[in-house]
Amino acid sequence: MSHPDKYLLNDPKDLVVESLQGLCATHNFLGLDGPNKVVFCKDYEDIKENQVTLISGGGSGHEPAHAGYVGSGMLTAAVAGQVFASPSSGQILKALRRVASPDHGSLIIVKNYTGDVINFGRAIERARWEGIVKDIKMVIVADDVGVTSGQEARDPETGEASDVGRRGLAGTVLVHKVAGAAAALGESLDEVYRAAQSVTSNLATIGVSLSTCTVPGSSGESRHLGPKEVEFGLGIHGEPGFETKPLETVKDTVTQMLRKILESPEMRTKLGRHQTKPHSVVLLVNNLGSTTLLEMNAATREALLYLRSHHVRVLRAYTGAFVTALDMHGISITLLAVHESREKAILRYLSHEAHVPGWNNASGASEVSLSALTIPLRKEGSQTLLSAENLAAHNAPEVAVEGSGFLRDVWKPAIIAACESAIEVEPTVTRYDTVWGDADCGLTLKSGATAIMDGFSKDADFHIPLDTKAPDHTIAAISELVEDSMGGTSGGLYCIMLDAVAAQIQGLTSEIGNDGLTLTQWAQCLTAALETLQRYTTARKGHRTLMDSLIPFIESFGQSASSDQQETTLQALSKAVEAARQGMEATKKMVPRRGRATYIGDQGSADSEKYQIPDPGAYGLVAIFEGILKANQGSQ
């Protein structure tokens, strides 16, 4: 839930003007009529003398719309209302008096909301009576296909059912772009109007979100979605959508959105499979407010893949924040269907540069290349050495891949058990890391463990080899998978340790018996690998890191190997796991001296609640050791 006092302002009424002042101060080609909240091109006198002028606007809270699209190549002026409220007809009339072109005419672009249509309409009629402009036309954008047939739309200001029809959403920006370019290229008002109408009549947009939005000065969100719920079809003022579902993957969510668009009456006749030559499309993926770029780009990828799978050609693709809904955590997807006869003109308009704050000319500059969407896995370097094909060239395939002897009977069960243990403790590790780190330790560990387990699958593209003639390849392959799946500091530490162990085992290959490494050999390999690891990290025992588990584990192995009591490897492993566990428990009272935990407050307060939990990395490593021990005990 969003916090109601999250916005940086003293009075909600001041926020809109203050925002427009900041916009204009940082873009010196923009002027501001503060009392009427009108942003305009400073060179509007030259513009209206030479071309059709464009005016748009609406409620605030949708930034960069609408003031962010004022400038050369798009709007001549934009009128802002208060948050989610239409500007008054008086404000709009002030904008028309300033920028309406008496000779070339003006085009008004309005989103389909009752207040906007009425107030802009009244201003237009007043301007006509005053003789401000030779001719003036209005285009109403209604691209929302989330309002299903037979469902009443809701007025954004009153919440009451109305006959207003489909709402205007992010597709409005494509109308701004096309009409603005047509005007800048010197086309007449009729031509600019037709260009805008051709876009409006071929638009379809649907929104989806994990939250509604918080209006400045309100007591909080008007509605609340569950922590794992997603709402389809909601409006840019937080109006309810047509369906709420359990949260699914990005792919599933985007698929449902595009399916809804393609099945809508607006798009079905243009993009349906029955068409002998369906239209191409322009794709716009819009950030509704607080969605991360990581999510935005992933959603764009899925949209492109879906459209390709349905044989829909994407002429241009745009991703970004175009028409937001304050802090709403969601996206909308817009398709503009482009008929072959209009393709050349639409691409010309879209390619025409616009110098405005809210439009990136580098985005969507050329037809979308789909080659980057699916990059095949290539085996390079050590992956080639470790590939099943390479091993099979020197051994029977079933030996290279399936393995035999101690690798199949001892190592593989132990590795799988270690991974299962790491996956099982992920929630606990994540909870601990939420207190002491950035909450990613558990998921990172789980990701590595899952990748390793997948590496034993016959269907895996990258197999973990189990060849008793080259046991070092098994460890090196695991290191490769860890690097690809984990990342971060912990992933790097695991990889260095695994690579060092592989190198030590490689030197012992000719001495390894049919039962695998002896206790002495294990101690030798682990001790040497630890020395290698310590060349790359200054973390040691007592620093509150995973080293507080790893070092006692390896030291215990060394002590068992040098003992006169002739311990078995299993006995030594049991003692080593206990030593690691004790080291992990000791971290509960340690002041962190390495790692991300050093940036967390209260380091010096040993009595703080934070010190009642162990280091997450040390805890996760002990779980891995315990899994190995459990598997070995079960095999005895």
Q: Which residues are annotated as a binding site for substrate?
A: 59-62, 111, 116
Residue 42, CA atoms < 13 Å, CB-side half-sphere: 9
Tell me whether strands 229-232 and 38-41 are parallel, antiparallel or unpaired: unpaired
Binding residues: 59-62, 111, 116
**410 DSSP assignment:** I
Helix (H) or strand (E) holding 498: helix 488-508
Q: What's the gap between Cα 551 and its chain centre?
A: 38
Closest by alpha carbon to 95, among 117, 74, 80? Answer: 80
C-alpha distance from residue 491 to each of 191, 480, 617 (Å):
60, 10, 11
Buried b (16+ CB within 10 A) or exposed e, 243-265: eeeeeeeeeebbbbbbebbbebe
Render 245-293 in DSSP notation, one character per residue.
Answer: EE---HHHHHHHHHHHHHHSHHHHHHH-TT-SS--EEEEEEEE-BS--H
With a CB cutoff of 8 Å and minimum separation 6, the contacts of 434 are none
Contacts of 22 (CB under 8 A, 6+ apart): none
By CB neighbour count within 10 A (0-12 exposed, 13-18 middle, 19+ buried), where does 122 fall?
middle
Q: What separation in angstroms does the CA of 315 have from each of 307, 319, 336, 365, 592?
A: 11, 14, 10, 10, 53
Are the C-beta atoms of 56 and 110 separated by less than 8 Å?
Answer: yes
**493 within 8 A of 524, measured Cβ to Cβ:** no
Structure-token pair, residue 471: 């046991």
Give me the helix-helix angle, 569-586 and 616-635, nearest 10°.
160
* Torsion angle defined by CA atoms of residues 169, 170, 172 and 175, in that order, rounded to the nearest 10 degrees: -150
Distance between CA atoms of 257 and 144, rounded to whole angstroms?
12
512 C-beta neighbours (distance < 10 Å), count: 17
Q: Which of 237, 329, 352, 473 is catalytic?
A: 237
361/77 Cα distance (integer angstroms):
20
- DSSP string for residues in 16-77: HHHHHHHHHHT-TTEEEETTTTEEEETTHHHHHHHS-EEEEEEEESSTTTTGGGBSBTSBSE
Q: Which residues are CB-contacts of 441 (< 8 A; sequence separation ≥ 6)? A: 429, 430, 432, 433, 490, 616, 617, 620
In angstroms, rounded to a whole number, what is the distance separating the alpha carbons of residues 331 and 369?
A: 22
CA 475 – CA 479 distance, rounded (Å): 6
CB neighbour list of residue 8: distance below 8 Å, 6 or more residues apart: none
One-character DSSP codes across 289-301: BS--HHHHHHHHH
Is residue 78 within 8 Å of 131, Cβ to Cβ? no
Amino acid making up residue 484: D
Q: Do residues 367 and 322 make contact, with C-beta atoms less than 8 angstroms apart?
A: no
Tell me the pairing of strands 203-209 and 229-232.
antiparallel
Contact 106/164 with Cβ under 8 angstroms? no
Could you confirm whether 237 is annotated as catalytic? yes
Catalytic residue annotation: 237
